[in-house]
Amino acid sequence: MTNEKTFRFKQFTVRHDRCAMKVGTDGVLLGAWANVKDAKTALDIGTGTGLIALMLAQRNAALHITGIDIDLDAVVQAKENVADSPWSDRIVIKQENFNIDPRLCQAEGSSLTRMFDLIVSNPPFFTENTLNPDAARTAARHACSLPIPVLIQNVATMLTEQGRFCLIVPTSIAQEVIGEAATHHLYLSRRTDVKTTPRKPPKRTLLEFTPNITNTDYSTLTLQNEHQQRTSEYRALTQDFYST
């Protein structure tokens, strides 16, 4: 999306000069796609720069969001971005390790003992054998820092009865994630496979789960046409955010 240290959206600006993770398409997709209807509380797991938390706040004026990250630099960065936004009164950023059992967490004020109407995550998925030498980026991207089974198990204990869990994963592991979620009584309610161009197979998949068995809505989203321009469906999804 950009190599600059600052990315400007219509209503807010995201800086990533302190944070190892930059603003990326995956985060924008999830922030725009997640269903925020009727939600009062939300948890953004692995908030990074705070991008998704900011997008959720823009989309639902009644939503109070907690963003957590294991990396201190990311937490500092997200706090700065939130403070500079119009929604600083509705977003709280905390340093938390989600790779623990929330039921064992006794820390005063911990986010891990609360219930949420909406939980979102752009989880680590970098699984190649060769790790990035940058330790912070590795911790943020490598799947061993937050394995999918641990993520799903913990989310299942923190979701309200009518809550929703939304995440974006590589299409290659989507079925594995769906199966893992079902073992924790989280059921697929929406799936969107994301294609870069019409002729390429999907590389990313957006998934929504609920604690209640329901019909699943399936769709495909293509980001660019053959001329490398944003498609009308992608523009429609993100039109409230992009400044250009």
Tens-place pLDDT, residues 32-56: 999 999 999 999 999 999 999 999 9
CA-to-CA distance for 157 and 5, rounded, in angstroms? 37
Lowest-confidence segment of 15-24, 78-87, 222-231 by average pLDDT: 15-24
Place of tokens 């799936």: 191
At residue 198, what is the residue type?
P
Q: State the sign of the Cα–Cα–Cα–Cα dihedral 181, 182, 187, 191.
A: positive
Q: What pLDDT is recorded for position 117? A: 98
Q: State the sign of the Cα–Cα–Cα–Cα dihedral 147, 208, 28, 196.
A: positive
Q: What pLDDT is recorded for position 99? A: 84
SS3 168: strand
Angle at 128 between CA 142 and CA 170, to 5 degrees: 70
pLDDT digits over 108-144, tens only?
678 888 899 999 999 875 433 333 445 444 444 444 4
- Residue 166 and residue 207 in contact, taking contact as beta carbons nearer than 8 Å: yes
CA-to-CA distance for 163 and 214, rounded, in angstroms? 13
CA-to-CA distance for 86 and 84, rounded, in angstroms? 7
Residue 138 CA to chain centroid, in angstroms? 18
Domains and CATH numbers, the chain: 6-238 (3.40.50.150)
Give the ranges where the chain is alpha helix by DSSP (H). Answer: 25-33, 51-59, 72-83, 135-141, 148-156, 174-183, 232-238
Q: What pLDDT is recorded for position 113? A: 80
Q: What pLDDT is recorded for position 39? A: 98
Question: Of 189, 174, 65, which is closest to residue 123 (Cα–Cα)?
Answer: 174
pLDDT exceeds 90 at position 9: yes
